[in-house]
Amino acid sequence: MDVAKRIRELRLLLQEHAHRYYVLDDPLISDGEYDLLFHELVRLEEQHPELITPDSPSQHLGAIPLDKFAQVVHRLPMLSLENAFNTDDLHAFEDRLLRFLNQDIAPVSLSYMAEPKIDGLAVELIYEQGKLLQGSTRGDGSKGEDITAQLKTISSIPHKLQDHATPRLEVRGEVFMDREALTLLNHERLQGGEPLFANPRNAAAGSLRQLDPAITARRPLKFLAYGIADPAQTPCSSQQELLVWMGNLGLPVSELARICPSITDVITRFDELAALRHQLDYEIDGMVVKVDDFELQQRLGNKARAPRWAIACKFPAIQATTRLISVAFQVGRTGAVTPVAILEPVEVGGVTVSRATLHNRDEFERKDLRVGDTVLVQRAGDVIPEVVKAIVEKRDGSEQPVAMPIHCPVCGHALLKVVGEAVTRCVNPHCPAQRLRSLIHFSSKAGLDIDGLGKKSMEQLFNLQLVRDIPDIFVLTHEQLASLEGWGDKSADKVIAAIEAARHPVLGRFLGALGIRFVGEVTAALLEQTFESLGQLMHASLATLLEIEGIGEQAAGSIIDYFSDPDVRVMFDRLQQAGVTPEAGQRSQADLPLSGQVILFTGTLTTLSRTEAKKLVKDHGGQIATTVTHNMTHLVAGEKAESKLKKAKELGKIILTEQEFHEMIHHEPRTTPQQAVVK
């Protein structure tokens, strides 16, 4: 084997998969497959240290933070952990510790703290004088993304610590999602034709990486603290003491952490957690073992990307083999045609699996799957079944390649795959499958949350032709519903009441419920912040939409196409006749600090994203300008502000720095034009 060539291949593979995992939250392989590739790279580099380079994935962790968030530099790096996969690896871990501590000269007695390894997203919380100041992701270990506003929406994260005397405290922990919550969220995304979260970690990351904290707030996230960046800031001498101390501050910590006096006790605890994992409300994918004594941790120190004094014991992947019987093709609300593997039923981790997603054509072509194959099936993140690979050694020649259909399996319309996109679509807007999925999304929790109109109820109404498009929902009668099989007066009353409550939805939620392509929760929220009514949005030009920070050409073009569709216009006329009137979020403008002010941002902002800044203006009673005009009252100038700043000065407008903008919002004395001019 050409070792240097294999090392280069592994580095490229790991860099690509790390980017998809840490940055895009869209992994292509399971954690187990990634760990095997990484373990192979580490083994080869240990055998050939002359081939190690600083840019190798073995020498750093994570991936660069997304540029849509401000970056936060961690005062002390947030390191990763080396992995142990079996008992031998744990004994080898202890042997390395004893050699490093020179056991032969000065014998030491090691005890360990064993904690569940939660499948979530690592974050850092900074408290000053006991108050939550900032929160960030791990990112590349040295710097992460500033997600303070998003983290503050998580109820288990205290905004103020109890009895806290330390001036500054850097808390590390994990944000995660319960098993039931993730299942419900994925069900809603499936009904809405959105990609599913592959595992709890991706669900947590995807929820925290929302520009609008209101979207994060609607996701049921939780937090557990597991450490302090610098334990010397605390009165504790061990990890065991630290967990108790953090709990007394009001920080949630794991109740499953256990002290283990020996490595044998560590192995026993690992077996206990492996047996317990399926009874927990949340997912754990292993156990973290730490040397308990902080003085010994200090002596052991860190390697390039991981501490010497800790290791992650990974549970074996939950996998099984079965036969691929056929591949079905489902049509989502956006027309996306998703291949689904139909399997011989097999038990995987206590759950019978008979179907597994294949995501798209590229996926099954990459894995070279064929009908009749013996395949390896895995419950990715213990949640979504996936086909890991075909076991080609078991092929006998009777297997048949999987072919993507060229016509929609529901309506027969020709399918389209746009160059550069992975998804194949049915572009017939009248496709029954798309219409049904759109209706299900509209009434689901991700849409207007019309209680009683879930998936089964909507399918029943659609098949009976009582509801064929959105306006039909709002003309349903009690008599129609009460007479249906499985219904009755009580169920009918409940649904009619929910429909009445949905006649005046908030504009942003209504737009998200419509299922306009490229208009998800974030874009819908941006549109609500910009337009005061649905009518105003319907008549907006492409140029106006493109001026909105956060809305690109795809979304803007899709919005224009949607509202230009004659059928859509007819639908809105029918909705209006049925008394459906979306409303902008109502809030009193009186006495708000920016009431009557028209503000334009230019240059590079350092403390806020452009979207956050505009939202602050709207929330505090002001209006947003997109260019320098006579109506504009203030210009907030960031770094490298040029032409707009010059023109605003010529018109005598008030020029503010970012700091002065913050002071203006917080009711501090407004600056005069002379005081505010940026030099």
In a domain, 559, yes or no: yes
Last residue of one domain, picked from the residues 287, 314, 341: 314
pLDDT of residue 299: 92
d(CA 128, CA 229): 14
Most confident of the ranges 14-23, 96-105, 583-592: 96-105
CB-based contact 329:336 (threshold 8 Å) = no
pLDDT of residue 381: 46
Q: CB under 8 Å to 218, separation ≥6 — which residues?
A: 521
| Residues 515, 636 within the same domain | no
| Cα angle for residues 115, 121, 123 (degrees, 5° grid) | 90
- Give me the chain's average pLDDT, please: 85
pLDDT of residue 547: 81
- What mean pLDDT is predicted for residues 648-654? 89
pLDDT tens by residue, 43-65: 888 888 888 877 677 765 555 55
Residue 618 has phi, psi (to 5 degrees) of -65, -40
* CA torsion angle 470 474 476 482 (round to 10): 100
In a domain, 633, yes or no: yes
Q: CB under 8 Å to 637, separation ≥6 — which residues?
A: 602, 603, 645, 655, 656, 657, 678
| Residues 338, 250 within the same domain | no
| Residues 37, 75 within the same domain | no
Distance (Å) of CA 77 to CA 8, 20, 137, 199: 26, 22, 12, 26
pLDDT of residue 670: 36
- What mean pLDDT is predicted for residues 611-630? 77
Q: How confident is the model at residue 587 (pLDDT cuts 50, 70, 90)?
A: very low
Question: What's the burial of 46, exposed, middle or buried (CB within 10 Å: 0-12/13-18/19+)?
Answer: exposed
| Residues 80, 218 within the same domain | yes
Question: What's the burial of 65, exposed, middle or buried (CB within 10 Å: 0-12/13-18/19+)?
Answer: buried
pLDDT of residue 668: 41
Beta-bridge mates of residue 144: 72
Q: CB under 8 Å to 596, separation ≥6 — which residues?
A: 621, 622, 633
In a domain, 279, yes or no: yes
Q: Is the pLDDT of residue 489 over 90?
A: yes
- What mean pLDDT is predicted for residues 230-246? 94
Last residue of one domain, picked from the residues 314, 332, 355: 314
CB-based contact 616:664 (threshold 8 Å) = no
Provide the CATH number for the domain around residue 328. 2.40.50.140
Question: Tokens in use for 527?
Answer: 């549109």
Cα-to-chain-centroid distance, residue 24: 9
Most confident of the ranges 352-366, 406-420, 517-531: 406-420
- What mean pLDDT is predicted for residues 517-528? 81
Q: Where are the alpha helices (DSSP H) in 31-147?
A: 31-47, 87-100
pLDDT of residue 256: 94
Q: Is the pLDDT of residue 386 over 70?
A: yes
Q: How confident is the model at residue 350 (pLDDT cuts 50, 70, 90)?
A: low
d(CA 457, CA 30): 35
Q: Which of 582, 545, 581, 573 is nearest to 560 (CA)?
A: 545
Distance (Å) of CA 393 to CA 107, 368, 390, 515: 52, 13, 9, 44
Provide the CATH number for the domain around residue 669. 3.40.50.10190
pLDDT tens by residue, 559-585: 999 999 999 999 999 999 999 999 876
In a domain, 588, yes or no: no
Catalytic-role residue among 5, 68, 117, 618 = 117
Provide the CATH number for the domain around residue 544. 1.10.150.20
In a domain, 78, yes or no: yes
Beta-bridge mates of residue 355: 342
d(CA 134, CA 124): 8
* Number of domains making up the chain: 5
| Residues 293, 343 within the same domain | no
Domain that holds residue 200: 71-314
> Identity (one letter) of the amino acid at 41?
L
Q: Which of 231-240, 338-347, 578-587 has the lowest mean pLDDT?
A: 578-587
Residues counted in the chain = 679
pLDDT of residue 347: 78
Output 209 or 324, whichever has higher pLDDT: 324
| Residues 101, 225 within the same domain | yes
pLDDT of residue 193: 62
| Cα angle for residues 305, 310, 313 (degrees, 5° grid) | 100
d(CA 325, CA 348): 17
pLDDT of residue 464: 96
In a domain, 637, yes or no: yes
Residue 133: half-sphere exposure toward Cβ, Cα within 13 Å: 11
d(CA 206, CA 145): 13
Output 102 or 201, whichever has higher pLDDT: 102
| Residues 240, 364 within the same domain | no
- What mean pLDDT is predicted for residues 496-525? 89
pLDDT of residue 592: 74
The SS3 assignment for 232 reads helix
Question: Tokens in use for 487?
Answer: 């219904």
Q: How confident is the model at residue 423 (pLDDT cuts 50, 70, 90)?
A: confident
d(CA 238, CA 208): 31
CB-based contact 440:457 (threshold 8 Å) = no
Q: CB under 8 Å to 135, separation ≥6 — which residues?
A: 123, 124, 125, 126, 146, 147, 148, 150, 151, 152, 157
Provide the CATH number for the domain around residue 18. 1.10.287.610
Instruction: Please state the pTM of the whole predicted model.
Output: 0.48
In a domain, 409, yes or no: no
Output 586 or 235, whichever has higher pLDDT: 235
pLDDT of residue 585: 60
| Residues 446, 507 within the same domain | yes
d(CA 380, CA 403): 25
Q: Is the pLDDT of residue 114 over 60?
A: yes
Helix 507-514 with 521-530: angle, nearest 10 deg: 140
Last residue of one domain, picked from the residues 347, 382, 403: 403
Residue owning tokens 């941006």: 526
Q: DSSP of 283-329, one letter per residue?
A: -EEEEEEEESBHHHHHHH-B-SSSBTTEEEEEPPP-EEEEEEEEEEE
Output 318 or 81, whichever has higher pLDDT: 81
pLDDT of residue 548: 81
CB-based contact 172:122 (threshold 8 Å) = yes
Q: Is the pLDDT of residue 673 over 50?
A: no
| Pairing state between β 623-624 and 598-602 | parallel
| Residues 304, 332 within the same domain | no
pLDDT of residue 53: 79
Q: Provide the 10 A C-beta neighbour count for residue 343.
A: 21
Is 117 an annotated catalytic residue?
A: yes
- What mean pLDDT is predicted for residues 509-521? 88
Question: Tokens in use for 588?
Answer: 């009193």
Q: Is the pLDDT of residue 246 over 80?
A: yes
% of the chain surpassing 90 pLDDT: 44
pLDDT of residue 452: 93
Residue owning tokens 């380079």: 53
CB-based contact 24:101 (threshold 8 Å) = no
- What mean pLDDT is predicted for residues 644-672? 77
Q: How confident is the model at residue 175 (pLDDT cuts 50, 70, 90)?
A: very high
pLDDT of residue 628: 82
| Residues 103, 31 within the same domain | no
Q: Which of 59-63, 309-313, 392-396, 529-533 has the lowest mean pLDDT?
A: 59-63
* CA torsion angle 547 550 551 552 (round to 10): 100
Which sign, positive or negative, has the C-alpha torsion 236, 78, 217, 67? positive
| Residues 189, 291 within the same domain | yes
Q: How confident is the model at residue 329 (pLDDT cuts 50, 70, 90)?
A: very high
pLDDT of residue 190: 64
Provide the CATH number for the domain around residue 285. 3.30.470.30
Beta-bridge mates of residue 137: 123
Q: What is the 3-state secondary structure (H, E, C) of 470-519?
A: HHHHCCCCHHHHHCCCCCCHHHHHHHHHHHHHCCCCEHHHHHHHHCCCCC
| Pairing state between β 336-348 and 351-357 | antiparallel
Beta-bridge mates of residue 135: 125
Distance (Å) of CA 322 to CA 31, 191, 475, 668: 21, 27, 48, 68
| Residues 100, 131 within the same domain | yes
Question: Tokens in use for 144?
Answer: 């992460």
- What mean pLDDT is predicted for residues 157-184? 86
Which sign, positive or negative, has the C-alpha torsion 549, 551, 557, 558? negative
CB-based contact 175:121 (threshold 8 Å) = yes
- What mean pLDDT is predicted for residues 361-390? 80
In a domain, 586, yes or no: no
Q: Which of 244, 225, 235 is nearest to 127 (CA)?
A: 225
pLDDT of residue 107: 73
Element of type H or E holding 177: strand 168-177
Q: How confident is the model at residue 679 (pLDDT cuts 50, 70, 90)?
A: very low
Most confident of the ranges 221-225, 353-357, 546-550, 598-602: 221-225
CB-based contact 270:278 (threshold 8 Å) = no
